[in-house]
Copies of this chain bind each other. A is one copy, B any other.
């Protein structure tokens, strides 16, 4: 009769991160499996993390005059086919409806893998003159990409995301938008999720199907694997040419709109789980935590518990008044040990225990989830101390993540070293000639792909190196890693 999230032998993260991940998503009550291959249930605790991410990101979009909207989920196959690279990239992943009732559809309907095609068909009608630009819209929705091997949050056939889509009259404004969106995503990861990231440009092989260039957020996981955590695409005039998104400029000349699109998905929850979690379960960053402080009154059967419960309620109320998300665990069916396990599994940043000693001494016993540090604090002004401790935890998580990122990123001077470093579970920074054949061979031989060309490696410093693979001239050092 125990609830499903009881810790029942969690694999150690340090021993087998894949098994640990499978254990923790179930035991921390983040998701559940269903009969539908590739689909999962996002349970309330994980959904609440997603809502917190949505709230922050949505505010960033709206502050920049984006408007939310909703486009149909079903897209005619004929529309998907209009941009050649786009359909080639997405064809293997498409889910389609071939009939409605008994009627076979001449033009099957695709469950949206992304919405450029259906949106830009509409943009073509909405835009006539330069005064109709820019268009800046966003939608929060479900997305379908058929996957053979699925992992909760990391890769599922259905997932949730936001997709921002724009049209500008010129290239400069469009590029500025591409980088602005990328920086919003960086803020979500660094400021809110406490995860240090790389940002840069994808290679032509790894870019979004149909884009001129794709820019991405890349995260180094504790096992050295790469997580592409969100992307921002410079679509240039590729789609506006395919969908005829044109406008008359001030001089009455017909011009193609410059476009960009960008998205962040529930994959961000996978990044949170993998980055911070430990052998005891999840660690949720305070800025995004559904519960920031859990209060456990240590109640016992053969004693007067009223004073303990009263104090717990006062603490809870004062924390809430200070804007801190607190929760009292008043469940009387489980032991203290059970409860501690449960809340550690769920990664609540701070735990407060209140028993007879605490009532007597008018102190609180507080425990940090990230490093298990315990301290006793006076009741006097405790809210401020808790509030400050949440900030300290937030900063410490980012610092720890930054440290891991740097420790796991190595420079390689030759291919032998490169292979060794990849095998040793690292990100590797190395000169690369940007030739597709070299890239494909490196991938085939090492399973490592280009992650991105970091912005600070992008400027041509006049110093050329030699490609790690072919030895030909290489202008820039790229980041490589084995991808999730």
In this complex, what residue of B is CB-closest to A50?
B70
Docked Cα-Cα span, A211 to B4, in Å, equals: 29
Contact with B along A1-45 (1 / 0, CB 8 A): 111100000000000000000000000000010111001111110
Q: A67-B47, A101-B146, A129-B1 are in contact. Are A72 and B39 (CB under 8 A)?
A: yes
Q: Hey, which chain B residues are within 8 Å of A48, CB to CB?
A: 67-68
Docked Cα-Cα span, A69 to B32, in Å, equals: 11
In this complex, what residue of B is CB-closest to A248?
B1
Contact with B along A96-121 (1 / 0, CB 8 A): 11111100000001010000001001
Contact of A70 among B3, B41, B100, B132 (CB under 8 A): B41
Q: Does residue A95 face the partner (Cβ distance < 8 Å to B)? A: yes
Q: Does residue A441 face the partner (Cβ distance < 8 Å to B)? A: no
Contact of A142 among B4, B44, B73, B118 (CB under 8 A): B73
Q: Determine whether the beta carbon of A32 is less than 8 Å from that of B122.
A: yes
Q: Determine whether the beta carbon of B69 is less than 8 Å from that of A44.
A: yes
CB distance from A329 to the nearest CB of B (A): 14
Binds B, one of A74-82, A392-400, A455-463: A74-82
Interface size on A, residues (CB 8 A): 57
Docked Cα-Cα span, A111 to B39, in Å, equals: 13
Docked Cα-Cα span, A384 to B96, in Å, equals: 55
Contact of A36 among B50, B72, B126, B248 (CB under 8 A): B72
Q: Does residue A137 face the partner (Cβ distance < 8 Å to B)? A: yes
Docked Cα-Cα span, A172 to B122, in Å, equals: 50
In this complex, what residue of B is CB-closest to A131?
B333
Q: Does residue A434 face the partner (Cβ distance < 8 Å to B)? A: no
Q: Hey, which chain B residues are within 8 Å of A57, CB to CB?
A: none
CB distance from A297 to the nearest CB of B (A): 18
Q: Determine whether the beta carbon of B131 is less than 8 Å from that of A100.
A: no
Docked Cα-Cα span, A128 to B35, in Å, equals: 20
Q: Determine whether the beta carbon of A44 is less than 8 Å from that of B67.
A: yes
Q: Determine whether the beta carbon of B70 is less than 8 Å from that of A42.
A: yes
Q: Hey, which chain B residues are within 8 Å of A32, CB to CB?
A: 122, 125-126
Q: A1-B131, A32-B122 are in contact. Are A41 and B72 (CB under 8 A)?
A: yes
Contact of A34 among B122, B126, B146 (CB under 8 A): B122
Q: Does residue A160 face the partner (Cβ distance < 8 Å to B)? A: yes
Docked Cα-Cα span, A41 to B32, in Å, equals: 32
Q: Hey, which chain B residues are within 8 Å of A95, CB to CB?
A: 97, 100
Docked Cα-Cα span, A48 to B70, in Å, equals: 10
Q: Determine whether the beta carbon of B97 is less than 8 Å from that of A70.
A: no
Most chain B C-beta atoms within 10 Å of own C-beta, residue among A36, A79, A141: A36
Q: Determine whether the beta carbon of A68 is less than 8 Å from that of B39.
A: no
CB distance from A327 to the nearest CB of B (A): 12
Q: Does residue A158 face the partner (Cβ distance < 8 Å to B)? A: yes
Q: A34-B118, A76-B36 are in contact. Are A41 and B68 (CB under 8 A)?
A: no
CB distance from A475 to the nearest CB of B (A): 40
Docked Cα-Cα span, A42 to B140, in Å, equals: 12
Docked Cα-Cα span, A69 to B47, in Å, equals: 5
Q: Does residue A51 face the partner (Cβ distance < 8 Å to B)? A: yes
Q: A44-B68, A142-B142 are in contact. Are A79 and B35 (CB under 8 A)?
A: yes
CB distance from A438 to the nearest CB of B (A): 31
CB distance from A423 to the nearest CB of B (A): 34
Docked Cα-Cα span, A284 to B129, in Å, equals: 29
Contact of A69 among B2, B41, B126, B158 (CB under 8 A): B41
Docked Cα-Cα span, A97 to B94, in Å, equals: 11
Q: Hey, which chain B residues are within 8 Å of A40, CB to CB?
A: 72
Q: A32-B125, A69-B42 are in contact. Are A98 and B99 (CB under 8 A)?
A: yes
Q: Does residue A71 face the partner (Cβ distance < 8 Å to B)? A: yes
Contact of A96 among B68, B69, B97 (CB under 8 A): B97
In this complex, what residue of B is CB-closest to A35?
B76
CB distance from A422 to the nearest CB of B (A): 32
Q: Hey, which chain B residues are within 8 Å of A71, CB to CB?
A: 34, 41-42
Q: A36-B109, A39-B72 are in contact. Are A125 and B44 (CB under 8 A)?
A: no
Q: Hey, which chain B residues are within 8 Å of A248, CB to CB?
A: 1
User: With A1-B131, A32-B122, A142-B142 given, can you name 5 additional A-B contacts, CB distance below 8 Å?
Assistant: A1-B132, A36-B76, A40-B72, A47-B70, A101-B146
Q: 9 closest pairs, A vs B, by CB?
A: A44-B67, A39-B72, A1-B129, A42-B70, A47-B69, A44-B69, A36-B72, A1-B128, A36-B74
